């Protein structure tokens, strides 16, 4: 009968069993380093093999000028380039333009061996593993030659033909808003016309890379030369609005005739190609002739007068451009002068004609020619002092006379004492022609409310001239 083992013996037995069970685990710990060593050895061997292979081949995924050259050798790439170069052709297309360029059109010359060598020189065999995950995209252009003049001529011809029917770009500009009568900036806009220089640059770039298609984008379109942010343009807009915004009143004999408002003046403002701003004087003159001519035209005993539109245009332009508000008298120009001989005076001989209705005097010589003329102021009709009408003779010529009136108001003093430089009486010594330096205006209807006591008042200069011409005994005709 077997005896049970003691606890001590049992523990020894367990220890022995444990020792026996631990032997496989120790073997695994020794195997792990060996496996890692094997893997590392394999990786190193793979890296060496890859470096060796890709030293003469392109890594998969590599492109040269956009063409896939995966696993090619330099020699294979050179042969491919030689084949494609012989029949190379590219199509330029985009933005409404399409034309082709062939190798013979531009004397294309490619060095295949140099092309392939240049491409391979841009790789690194040692980094082949990294290149697998991040492929290289290589550009080669130095080994491609062509006749640039021929290429530029082809592009110029194609672009010129396209642009003949294309829409040119539109510059930003200073434009009048008709509704508000203010000047604003209109935005620039692209058209469909192409910029030959931009097209050339893109074509040359792609030809040097032997691309078989050149795609033109919006950047090939002609650009506006003036944009809405141009400082000169913004200044021109401000200046144009300043010119149009000034208030100018046109007057006739000092009285308001027309007011030039913003709506009117704005239509005369012009902006030049150099962004200079001014007013169109021809347009102002035409407006003046159309709007004011009939209102200011007049005639008198001497002349016919019409609006001087050119002078008015210059004055308006200067005032607006000088940013000056105020009034401008409408200038007149003489368009006709009364004839030297007046019908009805032929054969009368030498005489002075005084027309009380027109307040105008003419001195006719013996041959009927007018040798002197002037406006005058005759007797005050509102006070019953009208100059007497009839035929008279000049009965005296004196200088530095003091004319003394009667005492009609009964105050014991003469009603007036007036010193004159030239005195030429023709009704006794009471009524005559003389200068009147105290008056500032002559002619018109002055006689009807502020006339003389019966004499014929003349401007000082006219009186002096008449005095030098008249002779005692000359006839004086006074009529209405």
CA distances from 321 to 178, 265, 277 (A): 21, 11, 9
Q: Give mean pLDDT, residues 281-302.
A: 90
Which pLDDT belongs to residue 2?
A: 38
Q: Tell me the longest C-alpha to C-alpha distance in the chain.
A: 200
Say if residues 184 and 177 touch (Cβ distance below 8 Å). yes
With bands split at pLDDT 50, 70 and 90, how would you rate the model's confidence at 10?
very low
Which pLDDT belongs to residue 39?
A: 66
Residue 455 falls in the annotated catalytic set: yes
What 3-state class would DSSP assign to 299? strand
Q: Which residues lie across from 458 on neighbouring strands?
A: 435
Mean model confidence pLDDT for the chain:
88
Closest to 49 (Cα-Cα) out of 41, 131, 122, 33: 41
Which has the minimum average pLDDT: 16-25, 141-150, 332-341, 450-459? 16-25
Q: So where are the chain's domains?
A: 63-88+101-163, 247-337, 351-479
CATH number of 247-337, picked from 3.10.20.800, 3.30.300.30, 2.40.50.140, 3.40.50.1580:
3.10.20.800
Say if residues 203 and 101 touch (Cβ distance below 8 Å). yes
Which pLDDT belongs to residue 460?
A: 97
Condensed to tens digits (0 to 9), the pLDDT of residues 250-280 reads 999 889 999 999 999 999 999 999 999 999 9
Say if residues 132 and 71 touch (Cβ distance below 8 Å). no
Q: Give mean pLDDT, residues 307-329.
A: 90
Which has the minimum average pLDDT: 190-194, 290-294, 342-346, 432-436? 342-346
Query: Rounded to whole angstroms, how far apart are CA atoms 190 and 175?
Result: 18
Condensed to tens digits (0 to 9), the pLDDT of residues 198-228 reads 999 999 999 988 899 999 999 999 999 999 9
**What is the percent of the chain where pLDDT is above 90?**
64
CA distances from 167 to 175, 222, 228 (A): 20, 10, 20
Q: For the domain 351-479, what is the CATH code?
A: 2.40.440.10
Which pLDDT belongs to residue 23?
A: 52
Which pLDDT belongs to residue 18?
A: 44
DSSP string, 328-378: EEPPEEEEEE--SS-TT-TT--SEEEEETTTTEEEEE-TTS-EEEEEE-B-
Closest to 252 (Cα-Cα) out of 178, 305, 201, 194: 305
Q: Per-residue pLDDT for 37 more than 80?
A: no
Which pLDDT belongs to residue 345?
A: 63
Residue of 57, 351, 434, 453 marked active site: 434
Which pLDDT belongs to residue 347?
A: 66
DSSP string, 56-104: TBPPTT-EETTEE-TT-BHHHHHHHHHHHHHT-EEEEEETTEEEEEEGG
With bands split at pLDDT 50, 70 and 90, how would you rate the model's confidence at 364?
very high
Q: Per-residue pLDDT for 176 more than 50?
A: yes
Q: Per-residue pLDDT for 123 more than 80?
A: yes
Which pLDDT belongs to residue 86?
A: 84
CA angle (421, 300, 393) in 5-degree steps = 45
With bands split at pLDDT 50, 70 and 90, how would you rate the model's confidence at 14?
very low
Condensed to tens digits (0 to 9), the pLDDT of residues 409-464 reads 778 788 888 999 999 999 999 999 999 999 998 988 899 999 999 999 999 999 99
Q: Which uninterrupted H or E stretch holds 439?
A: none
Which pLDDT belongs to residue 202?
A: 95
Q: Give mean pLDDT, residues 377-385.
A: 94
With bands split at pLDDT 50, 70 and 90, how would you rate the model's confidence at 31?
low
DSSP string, 114-162: HHHHHHHHT--GGGHHHHHHS--EE---TTEE--HHHHHHHHHHHHHHH
Residue 174 falls in the annotated catalytic set: no
Which pLDDT belongs to residue 204?
A: 94
Which pLDDT belongs to residue 171?
A: 97
Question: 125 vs 169, which has greater pLDDT?
Answer: 169
Which pLDDT belongs to residue 346?
A: 60
Query: Rounded to whole angstroms, how far apart are CA atoms 386 and 382?
Result: 8
Say if residues 470 and 352 touch (Cβ distance below 8 Å). yes
b vs e for 353-388, b when ≥16 Cβ sit within 10 Å of the residue's Cβ? bbbbeebbbbbbeeebebebbbbbbbbbeeeeebbe
């Amino acid at each position: 009968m077997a005896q049970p083992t003691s606890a001590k013996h049992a523990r020894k037995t367990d220890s022995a069993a444990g020792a026996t069970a631990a032997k496989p685990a120790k073997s695994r710990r020794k195997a792990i380093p060996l496996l890692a060593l094997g893997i590392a050895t394999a990786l190193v061997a793979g890296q060496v093999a890859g470096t060796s292979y890709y030293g003469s081949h392109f890594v998969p995924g590599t492109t040269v000028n956009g063409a896939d050259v995966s696993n090619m050798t330099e020699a294979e790439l050179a042969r491919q380039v030689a084949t494609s170069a012989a029949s190379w052709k590219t199509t330029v297309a985009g933005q409404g333009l399409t034309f082709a360029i062939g190798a013979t059109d531009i004397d294309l010359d490619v060095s295949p061996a140099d092309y392939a060598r240049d491409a391979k020189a841009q790789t690194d065999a040692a980094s082949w593993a990294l290149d697998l995950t991040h492929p290289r995209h290589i550009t080669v252009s130095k080994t491609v030659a062509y006749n640039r003049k021929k290429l530029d001529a082809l592009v110029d011809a194609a672009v010129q033909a396209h642009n003949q029917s294309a829409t040119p770009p539109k510059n930003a500009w200073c434009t009048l808003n008709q509704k508000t009568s203010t000047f604003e900036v209109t935005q620039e806009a692209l058209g469909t016309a192409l910029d030959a220089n931009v097209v050339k640059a893109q074509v040359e770039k792609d030809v040097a890379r032997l691309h078989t298609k050149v795609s033109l984008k919006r950047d090939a379109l002609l650009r506006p030369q003036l944009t809405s942010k141009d400082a000169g343009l913004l200044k021109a807009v401000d200046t144009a609005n300043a010119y149009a915004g000034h208030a100018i009143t046109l007057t006739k004999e000092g009285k308001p005739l027309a007011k030039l408002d913003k709506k009117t003046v704005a239509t005369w403002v012009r902006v030049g190609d150099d962004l200079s701003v001014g007013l169109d004087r021809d347009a102002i003159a035409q407006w003046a002739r159309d709007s004011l001519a009939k209102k200011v035209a007049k005639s008198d005993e001497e002349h016919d007068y019409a609006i001087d539109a050119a002078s008015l245009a210059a004055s308006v332009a200067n005032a607006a451009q000088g940013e000056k508000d105020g009034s401008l008298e409408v200038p007149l120009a003489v368009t006709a002068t009364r004839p030297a001989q007046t019908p009805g005076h032929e054969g009368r001989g030498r005489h002075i004609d005084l027309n009380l209705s027109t307040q105008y005097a003419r001195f006719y010589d013996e041959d009927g020619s007018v040798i002197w003329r002037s406006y005058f102021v005759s007797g005050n009709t509102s006070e019953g002092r009208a100059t007497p009408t009839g035929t008279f003779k000049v009965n005296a010529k004196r200088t530095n006379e003091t004319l003394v009136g009667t005492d009609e108001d009964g105050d014991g003093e003469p009603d007036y004492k007036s010193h004159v430089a030239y005195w030429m009486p023709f009704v006794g010594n009471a009524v005559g022609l003389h200068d009147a330096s105290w008056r500032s205006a002559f002619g018109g209807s002055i006689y009807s409310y502020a006339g003389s006591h019966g004499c014929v008042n003349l401007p000082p200069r006219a009186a002096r001239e008449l005095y030098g011409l008249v002779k005692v005994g000359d006839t004086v005709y006074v009529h209405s």
